[in-house]
Structure 1
Amino acid sequence: MIDADALAREVVEPGTPGLAGVVAEFGEDIVDAEGRLDRARLGAIVFAEPDRREALNAIIHPRVRERAAAMLATAKPGDIVVQDIPLLVETGQGSSFHLVVVVDATDEERIRRMTEIRRMTVEDAVSRMAAQAGRDERLAAADIVLDNSGTVEDVNELVETLWEERLAPFARNLAAGRPAPRAGGPVLSPPNSDWPVQAERLLARIRRASPEVLGADHIGSTAVPCLPAKDVIDLQVSVSSLEAADRIARALGEAGFPLQEASARDAPKPPDLDPSAWQKRFHRSADPGRPANVHVRVLGSPGWRYALLFRDWLRANSDAVRMYADMKQELAALHGGDHRTLEYAEAKEPWFTEVAWPLMDAWARSSGWQPPSYPMAQG
Structure 2
Amino acid sequence: MSIGLTGGIGAGKSSVARLLAERGAVVVDADVLAREVVAPGTPGLAEVVDAFGVHILGADGAVDRPALGRVVFADPDARARLNAIVHPRVREAAASRAAAAAPGSVVVHDIPLLVENDLGPDHHLVLVVGASQQVRLERLERDRGMGPDDARARMAAQAEDSERRRVADMWVDNTGTVEATAAQVERLWSQRIMPYAENLLAGRRAERGALVLATGPGEPRPWAVQAETVLERLRRVGGAAIQTAHHVGSTAVPGLVAKDVLDLQIGVADLEVADELASVLAVAGFPGLPGAWSDSPKADDRGETGSRESEPGARWEKRFHANADPCRAVNVHVRVAGGPGWRFALMFRDWLRADSSARQEYARVKEELAQQWETTAGYAEAKEPWFDRAWPRMREWASATGWTPPPSSR
Q: TM-score, normalised to structure 1's length?
A: 0.94
| Corresponding position of 1:249 | 278
| Corresponding position of 2:330 | 292
| Corresponding position of 1:368 | 402
Deviation at 1:373, TM superposition (A): 4.5
Correspondent of 2:98 among 67, 72, 91: 72
The correspondence of residues 42-53 of structure 1 with structure 2, limited to 5 A, is 42-53=68-79
Equivalent-residue separation in structure 2 for 1:373 and 1:247 (angstroms): 24
- Decide whether the 8 Å contact of 2:288 with 2:320 is kept in 1: yes
Whichever residue aligns with residue 91 of structure 2, its letter is: R
- Alignment of 1:347 onto 2:373: no
Q: TM-score, normalised to structure 2's length?
A: 0.87
The correspondence of residues 103-122 of structure 1 with structure 2, limited to 5 A, is 103-122=129-148
CA distance 1:247–1:289, shift in 2 (3 Å): same
Does the residue aligned with 1:201 lie in a helix, a strand or coil? helix
Cα distance per residue 1:64-120 (max 9 Å; x no partner): 111111101112321111000000111111111111111112223222222233232
Correspondent of 2:267 among 238, 248, 251: 238
| Corresponding position of 1:34 | 60
Equivalent-residue separation in structure 2 for 1:28 and 1:9 (angstroms): 17
Equivalent-residue separation in structure 2 for 1:145 and 1:183 (angstroms): 22
| Corresponding position of 2:117 | 91
- Alignment of 1:273 onto 2:305: yes
Deviation at 1:374, TM superposition (A): 5.0
- Decide whether the 8 Å contact of 1:252 with 1:258 is kept in 2: yes
The correspondence of residues 1-379 of structure 1 with structure 2, limited to 5 A, is 1-184=27-210, 186-192=211-217, 194-210=222-238, 211-270=240-299, 272-274=304-306, 277-335=315-373, 338=374, 340-354=375-389, 356-374=390-408
Deviation at 1:362, TM superposition (A): 1.0
Whichever residue aligns with residue 231 of structure 1, its letter is: D
Q: What is the root-mean-square deviation of aligned Cα atoms in Å?
A: 1.6
Question: For structure 1, which segment, 54-63 or 107-116, has the greater mean C-alpha deviation from structure 2 after superposition?
Answer: 107-116
Equivalent-residue separation in structure 1 for 2:190 and 2:230 (angstroms): 22
- Decide whether the 8 Å contact of 2:192 with 2:325 is kept in 1: yes
Question: For structure 1, which segment, 10-19 or 296-305, has the greater mean C-alpha deviation from structure 2 after superposition?
Answer: 10-19
- Decide whether the 8 Å contact of 1:269 with 1:349 is kept in 2: no
Deviation at 1:122, TM superposition (A): 1.8
Aligned-residue identity in percent: 54
CA distance 1:180–1:132, shift in 2 (3 Å): same
Question: For structure 1, which segment, 167-176 or 115-124, has the greater mean C-alpha deviation from structure 2 after superposition?
Answer: 115-124
Equivalent-residue separation in structure 2 for 1:101 and 1:129 (angstroms): 19
- Decide whether the 8 Å contact of 1:262 with 1:282 is kept in 2: no
Equivalent-residue separation in structure 1 for 2:37 and 2:335 (angstroms): 45
Deviation at 1:183, TM superposition (A): 4.4
- Decide whether the 8 Å contact of 1:219 with 1:307 is kept in 2: yes
Whichever residue aligns with residue 395 of structure 2, its letter is: D
Aligned length: 370
Question: For structure 1, which segment, 19-28 or 43-52, has the greater mean C-alpha deviation from structure 2 after superposition?
Answer: 19-28
Whichever residue aligns with residue 370 of structure 1, its letter is: T
Equivalent-residue separation in structure 1 for 2:35 and 2:182 (angstroms): 26
Equivalent-residue separation in structure 2 for 1:155 and 1:319 (angstroms): 48
Deviation at 1:301, TM superposition (A): 1.3
Equivalent-residue separation in structure 2 for 1:154 and 1:208 (angstroms): 36
Whichever residue aligns with residue 93 of structure 2, its letter is: R
Deviation at 1:310, TM superposition (A): 0.4
Question: For structure 1, which segment, 231-240 or 93-102, has the greater mean C-alpha deviation from structure 2 after superposition?
Answer: 93-102
Equivalent-residue separation in structure 2 for 1:373 and 1:29 (angstroms): 50
Q: 5+ residue gaps in structure 2?
A: 1-26, 308-313
Q: 5+ residue gaps in structure 1?
A: none
Whichever residue aligns with residue 206 of structure 1, its letter is: L
Cα distance per residue 1:32-74 (max 9 Å; x no partner): 1122211111111111111111111112111111111110111
Does the residue aligned with 1:117 lie in a helix, a strand or coil? helix
